[in-house]
Structure 1
Amino acid sequence: MKPFSLRDWSDADLRDPFPVFARYLAAGPVHFADGTCYVFGHDAAVQVLTSPAFGRRSPSGGGSPVTRSSALRTMVENWLVFLDPPRHTELRSVLTKEFSPSVVTNLRPRITAIAEELLAGLPMTFDLVERFAAPLPILVISELLGVPRADWGWLRAMAVDLQQASSVRAAANPDAHAVADRAAQELRDYFLTLVEKRRSDPGDDLVSLMVSAQTRGEPLSSDEIVGTCVHLMTAGHETTTNVLAKSVLALAARPAALAELRRGVTPAAVEELVRFDPPVQAVGRWAHEDAVVAGYPIPAGAKVMVVLGAANRDPARFTAPDSLLFDRPGGRNTGFGLGIHYCLGATLARAELEIGLGLLLPALGGFSTGEVEFPHDIVFHGPHRVVVTRRG
């Protein structure tokens, strides 16, 4: 078996990476290749994601995957996902109340209205990602941030360009960093303007909250606010977009599961869809001290990649892991992460998925899928085009 890598996947394997994951998991819960420790087993993944022995910051002090000096690096280094305590704890505490279950419950009527509007007047054949899976979450997060709805299309385009800086995509595109850096500069200018507006004319949105918030007795810096806005805008919609699109693909191939969900999309069904094909297939950590994971010694300073898709299909943890079972007994999967970096917007994403799928499936009637395109990225995993033809 060749050493595992997150790069150079074939189109077929990108569409269905789970047989690849299964082969490596069957050979062992942990693999080493090119100086990186890859974690496939569920229990091993839980340990890495929840242990303080592993963090987002590398031994050199950097946390982001961006290595060159740029507007992008400045922005990404202020993303919550790349921070460790104590700064992570301080910034997350500012934002947590805006993503609480009670706040999300109050948002459900608005999420429903946005979804219904997007579904009104759908043509018989359309791109699911363009018409529904992408705009639904980005419109919701746009409202939370207080940005004009008219800008969502531009923001979505900038978010896609920003993702080009991921190590997997950058390896395949020599212009990727330049594209991403231009997007970062434009997003920085956009949100700096919005921050200045909220300083003089605050509202009840997240940007106003961050402008007025203090940590350690000091206000958040403009870089911190802008970085957080862009992080919420990109990561906050990308996860839901990916799960929505991949759920439709999974259901199209499984008529019995589709028929079951047509009777109602439950929270348990949403959890199972996230387990079955998570929106992000791998996340990185660094060993901050010597550790042992599943019997394998991990030296301090080692880079660790937790393969969430493999952990979510580990037969040692999940019965019939390759099946969609909407009555699967409760239990934690790694689809939204675990530990202190558990997805801040997971409650919101679940509501968007429950409401979105609950309205989408009846609107599609009897449907079929046509052209499907995946970007060459196994980490931020989801199609950027799914052609759907609805009937009835």
Structure 2
Amino acid sequence: MPIEAAAKSRKKPAAKTQAKSSKASSNKRASRTEAKANAKEMQALLRKKGKLTKEERKKVGSYRAALAAAERRRRQAIYEARMRAIRARDEGLRNIAATNVLKDNSTGEDLEIRHAAIEALGGKAGTVVVMDPNNGRIFAIVNQQMALGSPVKPCSTVKLVSGLSALHEGVFDPNLDVPITARYSMNLTDALARSDNPFFQVVGHRVGFEGMMRYASNFGFGEMTGINYPGESPGFIPEEDTRTMPSHGDGFGITAVQLATFTAAIANGGNLYVPRVPRSAEEQINFRPQLKRRIEMSPEDRLRMMAGMIGAVNYGTGKLAYDPLSQVAGKTGTCTGETDKLGLFTSFSSVENPRLVVTVVTTGSTEAGKRAADIAGRLYRSISYKYFKPGSNPQLAPASTVMDFPRLGGNSSNNQR
């Protein structure tokens, strides 16, 4: 008997659970039945002709409010699920980047600059390249796998290619505003500073697709730089033209190192150097620049491009790269890559005596050119004391004044920064 009693006592909780489950199911069925009945009643009221009574209007109002609340809950649930997925992807990208940084070969790099670059990057999924524009020496590459082996869309940094190509081809008068639409026109300085898309679409298509590709190849895109790091990708250039190719970089795949060497060529007056890092003490002592070729750029064209790049930092899209010790010249880029947003900023400092090139590429759900410029600015402000002593670089006037270009022309709401 005691055993049977114990068995019965063990069965009672299960029976209670089953009863509760059955009651809950019954309540759900009743709720669904009631909801269907209410829906039918509301549909009948909404189809009813003539005036509704006060009670009927109240029912209809409550029904509509309930529907609106349900829709808000549905949208909120979708938004929260989407944000969870985005946060998870961003976290994954950051983890991959952190792992890649740990794999970097820092032998021969300037460890002070490397540490400052890592601090400036701040755990973001991205890469930072720092080099000497006068000889191609690499000071640091943070996240070497991304900088060398992961070509990305250049976004608005391609406007440096479009601008130089258009200047060299003489397809517009750089001393005058270029008519963009019937309502506004813009000069090259402001177009670079404010990253105006229509301007570069106009002048880029005047150069033509074949011409643009010839200049892009001359500037080092679509080929290996020759850097003495393993795993370099040559990237690629477009095979067909698009309307936004001269402003957005459609069809291009460039590496951060390619962008840095091209920027160095603008800074030094046209020398496209092979980027290298001297690994040993002997290599550092005997380091000599390796000139790959001269790019097609006259001294006048260089000054005009620099004016726009200075303007980008002084009053345009790259203001966060400002350094009080030296004048930074740069260009931002923002767009969507294959899966994520991209933020790019390529720059050099100082304008009077270029000593550093800093190129930043970041990826993630909220990345943009201004965020990349902020990273570069923090890096410049951290290491510029090493290259630019306080008081050695006088305050420069805004780009438009330095180059004697009027800051005129309308603003375009179609800017890709």
- After TM superposition, the score normalised by the length of structure 2 is 0.26
Q: Higher relative contact order by CA 8 Å / sep ≥ 6: 1 or 2? A: 1
Larger Rg: 2
